[in-house]
Amino acid sequence: MAAASAGDPLLGIETSCDESALALFDPARGLLGEWISSQVKLHAAYGGVVPDLASREHLENLPLLLREVLAAHPGLEPGGIAVTTGPGLAPCLALGLAAARALALRFQSPIHPVNHLRAHAFSVFIPAHEADPAGFASTLASHLPHLGLIVSGGNTLLIEIRPDLSLRLLGETIDDAGGEALDKAAKLLGLGYPGGPLIEQRAADGDPRAFDFPRALPGRDTFNFSFSGLKTSLRYRIQDWPPEAVRDRLADLCASYQEAVVAALARKVALALDRFPFRSLGLSGGVANNRSLRHRLAALADERGVAFLPALPRHTGDNAGMIAFTAWLDRHRPTAPLAIAPVWPPARQ
Ligand code: KG4
């Protein structure tokens, strides 16, 4: 077997939480394929991700996914193996790293460690690359500096991507993440997990002005977010209500609560757009699926004359496409050591 060459596609591996995912990214053509095995149903029974169960599933799923990749691309010789090193659940990350090491040996190709949050930040540029791989470098340059909002069940971050592709953290949640606020509210309302999509569904028939929920940290002196007061306010509001009353006002409760989350996120985005000369605005992470949030940020970007770049629906959640893509974007940056890196700031900031 010949050693892989740099022109060959990159194989991405993502196992940071409850998705096992592989992807093949060809710089000249874009994503050739993405393979994902979700564990959402397994963990739904526990109301959240159980790390030991998740790692056991990765162990089962990764070889099955790899078999599918090789069936679709017989004779594959990846030019590199891109793997998520963190943040994430350590036993899950370890399985991804072990798979990366094995594949790197098998294909004699280099390993590219990728920070998961950095990949979420860059995932919003995948559509531009897909539209025009050859012109992508100049398109990317035209979008920088970029303001990115990453909102998921575990993170809420406002970041700047500078023209040299380094990241600067502008703000983050000081307690619950935006998705966590929605998940916890859904639990209080008896709706199930994950809560964001369930709240969005019910909110469609409700009045976002029916209930006045608090918007934390409204000041102009911080880009940080806070959602724990919002969740507590919902708990106090309904604690003495009989179940029928909650059921009768469910749509209005969901619409008003969702509005409080969206408004809090949009306020800090607007503040950052006013403060710095950004040329584009990105939205990624699981909560980026929320239509109300997308519309609000699209309108903000439009008002400020910056491009709005939401991640594709298949890249909002954890995925390996963004891992391979980010490894390619970072190909000229110094390589970080291969180790589990559970926290911000991303390596190679
Ligand atoms: O990035 P992600 O898939 O993984 C984790 O962070 O674990 O994000 C999942 C989060 C959950 O909190 C979920 O409730 C939220 O994203 N989410 C949504 C929607 N779809 C997923 N929140 C609001 N509206 C949605 N449509």
Burial code (b: 16+ CB inside 10 Å, e: under 16) for 170-202 equals bbbbebbbbbbbbbbbbebbebebbbbebbbeb
Give how many domains the chain has, as a whole number: 2
> The tokens of 343 are what?
């926290």
For residue 5, being part of any structural domain is answered with no
**CA-proximal residue: ligand 1, atom 8 (nearest):** 286
Residues 189, 277 share a domain:
yes
Burial code (b: 16+ CB inside 10 Å, e: under 16) for 7-29 equals ebbbbbbbbbbbbbbbbbbbbee
Residues 289, 325 share a domain:
no
Residues 148, 98 share a domain:
no
Residues 171, 285 share a domain:
yes
Output the domain CATH number for residue 103. 3.30.420.40
How far is residue 58's CA from residue 229's CA, in Å, rounded to a whole number?
A: 35
For residue 105, being part of any structural domain is answered with yes
pLDDT tens-digit map of 219-232: 778 999 999 999 99
Residue of 38, 40, 89, 289 with the most ligand 1 atoms within 8 Å of its CB, for mutation: 289
The residue length of the chain stands at: 349
Predicted local distance difference test score (pLDDT) of residue 348:
43
> The tokens of 95 are what?
């399985």
Q: Which domain holds residue 22?
A: 10-135+314-348
Residues 204, 169 share a domain:
yes
Task: Please give the distance, rounded to the nearest whole angstrom, from the Cα atom of residue 226 to the centre of ligand 1.
Answer: 17
pLDDT band per the 50, 70, 90 thresholds, residue 40? confident
pLDDT band per the 50, 70, 90 thresholds, residue 347? very low
The binding-site residues of ligand 1, defined as CB within 6 angstroms of any ligand atom, are: 17, 152-154, 179, 182-183, 194-197, 200, 285-287, 289-290, 317-318
Residues 185, 108 share a domain:
no
For residue 22, being part of any structural domain is answered with yes
Residues 236, 324 share a domain:
no
Residues 234, 161 share a domain:
yes
The model's pTM is 0.94
Residues 59, 194 share a domain:
no
Residues 301, 227 share a domain:
yes
Residue of 150, 287, 289, 315 with the most ligand 1 atoms within 8 Å of its CB, for mutation: 287
Residues 220, 243 share a domain:
yes
For residue 183, being part of any structural domain is answered with yes
For residue 292, being part of any structural domain is answered with yes
